[in-house]
Structure 1
Amino acid sequence: MMRHHGMGFLVELIDEVLEQNRENRERRPRARSEKDELEEELKIAYARGDIDEDAFARMRTEIRTGAFTRQDLERIKTEAAEARLAEIPEERELRRASAEIERQKRALIQAKEESSALAAGLNDRLSALKAEAAELEAKARESLKEDEAAARLYLEQRQDVDDRAGKIEQQLTALRRDLERVEDLSAALADKEEELRVARSRGRIAALGNRIHKK
């Protein structure tokens, strides 16, 4: 037979259930906030030596005030990783080689620009000389019927212009060879740069593997 309880018993039962629910909520792990996760990762970065004590204290305060973001943390990780790689002798050599390639690339670009500008100027002068030579030849033809001496003078002037034009054509030929040489060197430098990128990538993977195996 079912027992009927009074109101007092029902109130006690409700209070007991509510108390159990409260205790269960307190025992349930609290969800970690973004600030909690950032601070935990910042502690790891500090323990790893990525930042010093002053930076750690300042950044932890910034996390709590909302001034420090996930992007800031990723930047610190990237800079620290690059700094660790820079300590590897092979990486230092690769960095120096990369810097030298960049210097050579800039030098080739400058040489190409200078040679191209010179070639453009010489082409303009050559066109002007050819036009002048054609004009002198026309004058010589016109003068030939009436004044052979004047015609001969025009032809001598034309020959002088032709000689100057010939020298410019030689200079243009030399400049074209230089520009072709620059293109060949640029292609060779691009191949060397690609080899260097592969070497750096392999070196980083090897360094990462060494650190993992040491743990």
Structure 2
Amino acid sequence: MDLVWGVVALTVATLTVLLAVRRFVMVGSQLVFSRYVAVGGLVAFSAYRDDSDSPGAYRVRFEVGGPGVFHNVTVQLFGVSETGGEQRPAVRHTMAAGDTPIEWTFRHPAEVAERAWVMVTWVRPYLQGVESEALAQWLPTGRLYEWRWYSETTRYVRTVTRFIARRSPVPLGASMRELPLYGRWRRTSSNTSADLLGPAATPPPTS
């Protein structure tokens, strides 16, 4: 038991030192990082059932607006073995405001679509590098999620926590032993095509 507590104390001390060093480096590099600006941009994403033309049809639409440029934009369908005979959209190597939206229609019975979700992934410049981003929507519920990467510090803390949980003689729960290290899905909402137009989509008051 003394060995376990010794490992815990050493881990906490190491984490404290690393956080202090990281903060010092960030402050010292402020002038360097100020040269980099995260490129913005908006997206409008929707996936819904539309029986007006064909029973069991689902329509997916993805478009972008704002100053950002999206790279390697990919639309994928998960949870089903096939796409109802429809080829999924080709990868858009670059996509920016004014580009033609990605539109995709596929067909599946409702009982099959209950297990399916649609995901859009892309890559954008972020600070001095690039970062992948994603949106995913469950077809039966319409719930939309965005992928959020953990920061470097959070990843380190979660790695240490999972390491201790897996080696502790006291059971700490399966959730801590299998703690995700890199990121998580978070509930979100999407803009619409009208939102990308700004106030142009809303008339002013008449009085």
Q: What is the TM-score normalised by the length of structure 1?
A: 0.22
- Indicate the structure with greater strand content: 2
Larger Rg: 1
